[in-house]
Amino acid sequence: MIPRKFEYFAPTTVAQAVSLLRKYKDEAKILSGGMSLIPMMKLRLVSPQYVIDINNIKSLNYIKDSGRVVRIGALVRHADIEHSPVIREKFPMMVDAAAHIADMQVRNLGTFVGALAHADPAADWPASALALDAELVAQGSSKRIIKATKFFKGPFETALKPTELLVEALLPVPKGPKLGQAYLKFERKAGDYAIVGVASSVVLNENNEFEKVALALTAVNPFPFRATDAEQLLIGQKPSKELIEQAAKTAASMSDPSSDLRGSAEYKKEMARVFTRRSLNKALERAGVAL
Q: How many CB atoms lie within 10 A of CB 264?
A: 12
Q: How far is the CB of 186 from ligand FAD (least distance, A)?
A: 12
The answer to whether the beta carbons of residues 11 and 57 sit under 8 Å apart is yes
Among 41, 70, 94, 113, binds ligand FAD (CB under 6 A): 113
Residues 6+ apart with CB under 8 A from 175: 203
Q: Which of 251, 243, 134 is nearest to 196 (CA)?
A: 251
Q: Which is nearer to ligand FAD, 186 or 210 (CB)?
A: 186
Taking only Cα atoms into account, the Rg of the chain, rounded to an integer number of angstroms, comes to 19
Please tell me whether residue 280 binds ligand FAD under the rule CB under 6 A: no
Which position's Cβ is nearest ligand FAD? Answer: 110
Q: Is 24 in the site for ligand FAD (CB under 6 A)?
A: no
- Which range in 1-9, 29-37, 239-247, 251-259 contacts ligand FAD by CB under 6 A? 29-37
Distance CA 186, CA 246 (A): 20
Separation between Cα atoms, residue 70 and residue 56, nearest integer Å: 23
Q: Which is nearer to ligand FAD, 101 or 204 (CB)?
A: 101
Q: Residue 192 class from Cβ within 10 Å (0-12 exposed, 13-18 middle, 19+ buried)?
A: middle
One of 33, 73, 92, 257 touching ligand FAD (CB under 6 A): 33
When the beta carbons of 224 and 239 are compared against ligand FAD, the nearer one is 224
Confirm if 69 and 86 have CB atoms less than 8 A apart.
no
Nearer to ligand FAD, 70 or 101 (CB): 101
Residues 6+ apart with CB under 8 A from 6: 41, 47, 48, 49, 50, 51
Residue 88 is classified by DSSP as H
DSSP letter assigned to residue 240: -
Distance CA 110, CA 121 (A): 16
- Contact between 72 and ligand FAD (CB under 6 A)? no
Q: Quick check: 81 binds ligand FAD (CB under 6 A)?
A: no
Dihedral pair phi/psi, residue 128, rounded to 5°: -65, -45
Site string for ligand FAD, 175-194 (x = CB under 6 A): ------------------x-
Phi, psi (degrees; rounded to nearest 5) at 44: 60, 30
Our finding on whether 34 is near ligand FAD (CB under 6 A) is yes
Q: Which one of the spans 116-124, 220-228, 236-244, 270-278 is the region binding ligand FAD (CB under 6 A)?
A: 116-124
Question: For ligand FAD, which stretch binds (CB under 6 A), given 120-128, 129-137, 208-216, 277-285?
Answer: 120-128
Q: Which of 80, 91, 118, 130 binds ligand FAD (CB under 6 A)?
A: 118
96 or 231: CB nearest ligand FAD: 96
Single out the segment in contact with ligand FAD by CB under 6 A; choices: 5-13, 36-44, 145-153, 280-288: 36-44
Among 11, 18, 24, 35, binds ligand FAD (CB under 6 A): 35
Interface contacts to ligand FAD, rule CB under 6 A: 29-37, 39, 74, 101-102, 106, 110-111, 113-115, 117-118, 120, 123-125, 160, 165-166, 193
